[in-house]
Structure 1
Amino acid sequence: MTVDLGEAARQLVDGVNTGVLATNNPDGSPQMSVVWVGRDGDDLLISTAAGRQKDSNLRKDPRASLLVIDKESADRYAEIRGIATVTEDLGRVVAQQLAEAYAGPGAGQEYVDLPPEIIRTVIRITPHKVILHV
């Protein structure tokens, strides 16, 4: 069941705070990655390269948990649990947007300049549970 992200969690994501994405390895063990995160409505967006562990894990088991931590106060965070879909980042648009949000104007150019054989994907997490600590 999809849930509303809520204003406090939206503010954390929109505040350009780092996230920690948890996925499940094929053997059931956890795998975590530090990620940049954006938002499309209440869905969370992460960019990665096709074939990375998080990409592969979510294609096999779409359950994900994302912890977004306030850069000003580690006591303030949101854990968003949900189901992920993985699609190609056509034009590398999401990669560019996140790079510019986190690293500044022009930072997304490195994704534009990647060779065409390097495929970027978008991980879209639809929230099913939101746990806030604010």
Structure 2
Amino acid sequence: MSHMGYTDAPEGWWREFVLATPARTGKLAVTRKDGSPHVAPVWVDLDGPDVVFLTARDTIKGKSILRDGRVALCFDDETPPFNFVTVTGRAIVDEDPEQLKYWAGRTAARYMGAGQADAYAERNGVPGEMVVRVKVDKVVAKQNVAD
């Protein structure tokens, strides 16, 4: 993490913000093959220094990650005084079936509750899906934007 940028937020605050309950979706930014931008919401979790989510190989997100690997994610709250975190980095993928089921269940538990983890692991931990691990290069975290 070579270019960490913290604006008005303690260094570890961004991780707490990303992991807050209720879970916030990450807005994932990638580039299409023609260079135009694409943004989509994703369910995320943290694993050590990495941001982790799942997506399918044949989606715009998946194709971009396989082709390029550079990604950005934004997390925000929509109530005053407003806070946000942006993360940029390089994505690596894992298609191991055990990892797919593990991360599908783990992220589902964050967003849908522990009782739904197994069902989502079975539904989303399947061939064609990928575990995406973002190796974070830069974080910008801003607290109390309206103040």
Q: Report the TM-score range of the alignment, normalised by the length of the smaller protein.
A: 0.7 to 0.9
Give the whole-Å Cα distance in 2 for the aligned partners of 1:114 and 1:127. 28
State the TM-score, normalized to the length of structure 2: 0.79
Q: Does the 8 A contact of 2:4 with 2:140 survive in 1?
A: no
Secondary structure of the residue that 1:27 maps to in structure 2?
Answer: coil
Residues 71, 118 of structure 1: alpha-carbon distance in 2 compared, 3 angstrom cutoff: farther
Equivalent of residue 61 in structure 1, options 61, 68, 71: 68
1:99 aligns with 2:99: no
Give per-residue Cα distances to partners, 1:83-122, cap 9 Å, x unaligned.
Answer: 1112115321111100011110221223343398643211
Q: Letter of the 1:9 partner, please give it.
A: W
Q: Letter of the 1:13 partner, please give it.
A: V
Gaps of 5+ in 2: 6-10
How many residue pairs get aligned? The number is 134
- The answer for the alignment partner of 1:23 in structure 2 is 30
Q: Which range moves more in the overlay, 117-126 or 61-70?
A: 117-126
Q: Does the 8 A contact of 1:89 with 1:95 survive in 2?
A: no
Q: Does the 8 A contact of 2:29 with 2:38 survive in 1?
A: yes
- The answer for the alignment partner of 2:14 in structure 1 is 9
Give the whole-Å Cα distance in 2 for the aligned partners of 1:55 and 1:104. 26
Secondary structure of the residue that 1:106 maps to in structure 2?
Answer: helix
Gaps of 5+ in 1: none
- The answer for the alignment partner of 1:79 in structure 2 is 86
Q: Which range moves more in the overlay, 121-130 or 105-114?
A: 105-114
Q: What's the RMSD between the two structures over aligned residues?
A: 2.4
State the TM-score, normalized to the length of structure 1: 0.86
**Identical aligned residues as a percent:** 29
Q: Does the 8 A contact of 1:47 with 1:122 survive in 2?
A: yes
Q: Does the 8 A contact of 1:3 with 1:129 survive in 2?
A: yes
Q: Does the 8 A contact of 1:21 with 1:66 survive in 2?
A: yes
Superposed displacement of residue 49, structure 1: 2.3
Give per-residue Cα distances to partners, 1:56-80, cap 9 Å, x unaligned.
Answer: 1011011100001236658211000
Give the whole-Å Cα distance in 1 for the aligned partners of 2:29 and 2:94. 18
